[in-house]
Structure 1
């Protein structure tokens, strides 16, 4: 698992995920930061983040890349990419006839809550043992909801920021107790 930490004011944004995902986000932000600071791009080598600006250069951006010290799991080591989760696919075998009725009872306010509702429906209502990000993507499409632009990052946020779901792989997403409680007791209901 690779982590990238960048804050726009201090030059750092936190991203956690596969190396490919982090490098894509890093490249995008690096280009933006370089254009904002007027610093020329040195090279496209990812072994170092942005080089430290000279004392005369504006101190607008500082980016640093950190690699997690924990060794990759067997699943991560066997995959060089994120298994295509950045380009999710519709699961045509998924029967979502009751999803609209279930979803209409709630008023999710963000992607974390939408992902939570979809995982809750698939796990608790449909009793699907192994829910994948493709299954959740199929729910987004069925409910005509806007797909998160950074699709994998949306799952990382739902797991890390809210603790609504847990997973080792986006092919096996579990519902956390926090997520169950939020749907049953705290999520805003539709009016």
Structure 2
């Protein structure tokens, strides 16, 4: 006696016709691979393999209650950490004791920054122009905030995201990779309010 089994792909079902043992074996193999791919454990009461021996397989398959598959949320990509493993984190800045901030006061006093984005831009330009640092990190910017006595942003990492996305002064890729953009250079050289010379 030939046994038929219809499986709908949208529901994880295939058509099989043949010997009952062969159909059962193919079905269990298919089911185990499907469940393994979905990482889903079937309830103990469900026995779709016994439906292969019933007279009308389509009715048995359609009358079985549909199980809701729980989906995992997308894993969040970590953006505050540095991929290179340098130990620098934008949301947990540390004081860089090796940064020479002796000339920062004179450099910073030339400007009248209105917001944290402009302060970050000034600090980056100081480190690039005066200290010749090619890739300053967020810890060094934090050190500049401390050296000038300015209020440190509560959401320190967010200040960099805002400087990048809202103002476009930097291209924030990681806590150790955020170069000044052309827009940042233009703002620094032409639009940034300067204090009158004393």
The alignment's TM-score, normalised by the length of structure 1, stands at: 0.57
Is the CA contact 1:107–1:190 (under 8 Å) kept in the aligned structure 2?
A: yes
Shift of 1:147: 0.4
- Rg: which structure is higher? 2
Does 2:110 match 1:105? Answer: yes
Pairs within 5 Å for 1:140-159: 140-159=145-164
| Partner Cα separation in structure 2 for residue 108 and residue 84 of structure 1 | 25
* Higher RCO (CA 8 Å, separation ≥ 6 residues): 1
| Partner Cα separation in structure 2 for residue 119 and residue 77 of structure 1 | 18
1 or 2, which has the higher strand percentage? 1
1 or 2, which has the higher helix percentage? 2
SS of the equivalent of 2:134 reads coil
Shift of 1:124: 2.2
Deviation per CA, 1:90-126: give whole Å up to 9, x if none. 1100011111101000000100100110011111222
The alignment's TM-score, normalised by the length of structure 2, stands at: 0.55
Which runs of 5 or more residues in structure 1 are unaligned? 1-46, 49-66
| Partner Cα separation in structure 2 for residue 77 and residue 175 of structure 1 | 18
Q: Runs of 4 or more off by more than 4 Å in structure 1?
A: 75-80
Which runs of 5 or more residues in structure 2 are unaligned? 1-71
SS of the equivalent of 2:171 reads strand
Does 2:182 match 1:189? Answer: no
| Partner Cα separation in structure 2 for residue 83 and residue 133 of structure 1 | 7
- Counterpart of 1:178 in structure 2 is 183
| Partner Cα separation in structure 2 for residue 96 and residue 78 of structure 1 | 27
SS of the equivalent of 1:158 reads helix
- Counterpart of 1:91 in structure 2 is 96
CA 76–170 in structure 1, closer or farther in 2 if over 3 Å, else same: closer
